[in-house]
Amino acid sequence: MRETSMVFSPFSAVRAEDFLPLLNDETLRKHLIPHPLFDVAGVRDWMAYKLGVDARPGCRVRAIFLDGTLAGWCGIQPDDEGVELAIVLAKAGWGSGVAIFNEMMGWERELGHRTILFHLLDTRPPYLSLARRAIWVRKTRLGEHPFTTYCLDVERWPAGP
């Protein structure tokens, strides 16, 4: 079996027009907080905001390319309770989620974080493998939306892919 090539690119290297179909994909959107569909101007604004997050100390936001195709984005970004790890991935890339997650845990270590929060909207099933490794797991709310939040110890996470 061929290994998928995985490239993480700064948002500045991606066109808003390339992000537009991904951000409006209905399969992806059902696992995100509800929000209006994007137009190109809205994508540009969102990308500018994420570039600002990326510039903050301790943060990193990247576009994810799998086998040369834009498949999603990921970020280590501020959260009301610390720092969160976010992965937004088109259905075609779901099989690469664990590899992306593990890569990002390496970034967490590199950026000096001790713990990280991983929020999953309640449309997602519980992740028992994460729960077993978590410091804690809680039902949380972001705005009016229910999430399952996993708090993970970065140093206890295995290094490497």
- Asked whether the predicted pLDDT for residue 142 surpasses 90, the reply is no
pLDDT attached to residue 160: 56
Question: Are β-strands 82-89 and 136-142 bridged in parallel, bridged antiparallel, or unpaired?
Answer: unpaired
- Asked whether the predicted pLDDT for residue 60 surpasses 90, the reply is yes
The whole-number average pLDDT for the span 96-100 is: 92
Q: How confident is the model at residue 159 (pLDDT cuts 50, 70, 90)?
A: low
pLDDT attached to residue 57: 96
How far are the Cα atoms of 6, 52, 75, 79 from residue 48, in angstroms, in the given order? 23, 6, 14, 18
Instruction: Return the higher-pLDDT residue of 114 and 158.
Output: 114
- Domains in the chain and their CATH numbers? 6-156 (3.40.630.30)
Q: How confident is the model at residue 71 (pLDDT cuts 50, 70, 90)?
A: very high
The whole-number average pLDDT for the span 93-112 is: 92
Model pTM score:
0.90
3-state secondary structure of 17: helix
- Asked whether the predicted pLDDT for residue 161 surpasses 60, the reply is no
d(CA 102, CA 161): 6
The whole-number average pLDDT for the span 94-106 is: 92
d(CA 108, CA 128): 22
> How confident is the model over 23-44, as pLDDT tens digits?
998 887 776 777 789 899 999 9
pLDDT attached to residue 29: 76
